[in-house]
Amino acid sequence: MGGEGTWYIAEQYSKTFAAIAPVCGRVSHISSIERDINTIANLPIWIFHGVKDKVYSVEESDKIYQLLKELNPEIKYTRYSELGHGATHDSTYKNSELYQWFLTHKLKYIGT
């Protein structure tokens, strides 16, 4: 439940992360995600999901992407047309662009 956990922890502790990249994340079981969508609206987010995912439907990521794209014009979404659940993880974690993207984001600290 890494993708779902990513969404949940980011929503609960949004100021803790410089960026998040949920992979095959289910959001339908996070009752507060839509209500509290503004807590993650400005967070750099790159979503990954495979259309052929039989564990968690791609519609989970489609839904949260639709909600966030109006609030966060820089949100990214990689929707793999030919991949299932495990292959999505494999392809995402082998993607060196993801790690470069993470390195472009830093937390903004207030105070000393």
The predicted structure's pLDDT at residue 99: 97
- Is 14:40 a contact under the CB 8 Å cutoff? yes
Asked, for residue 111, whether it belongs to a domain, the answer is: no
We report the CATH number of the domain holding residue 51 as 3.40.50.1820
Separation between Cα atoms, residue 24 and residue 83, nearest integer Å: 11
pLDDT for the residue numbered 109: 67
CA 3 to CA 24: how far, in whole Å?
Answer: 5
Domain count of the fold of the chain: 1
Per-residue pLDDT of the chain (112 residues; tens, 9 = 90+): 799 999 999 999 989 999 999 999 998 888 888 888 999 999 999 999 999 999 999 999 999 999 999 999 889 999 999 999 999 999 999 999 999 999 999 987 665 4
pLDDT on residue 110? 61
Structural domain containing residue 37:
2-9+19-103
Q: Judge whether 93 lies within some domain.
A: yes
In a domain? residue 95: yes
- What pLDDT, on a 0 to 100 scale, did the predictor assign at position 46? 98
Tell me whether residue 108 is in a domain.
no
Backbone angles phi, psi at 50, to 5 degrees: -100, 135
Q: DSSP labels for 28-77?
A: TT-TTTTTTGGGTTTS-BEEEEETT-SSS-HHHHHHHHHHHHTT-TT-EE
Q: Name the amino acid, one letter, at 66.
A: Q
pTM of the predicted structure, to 2 decimals:
0.92
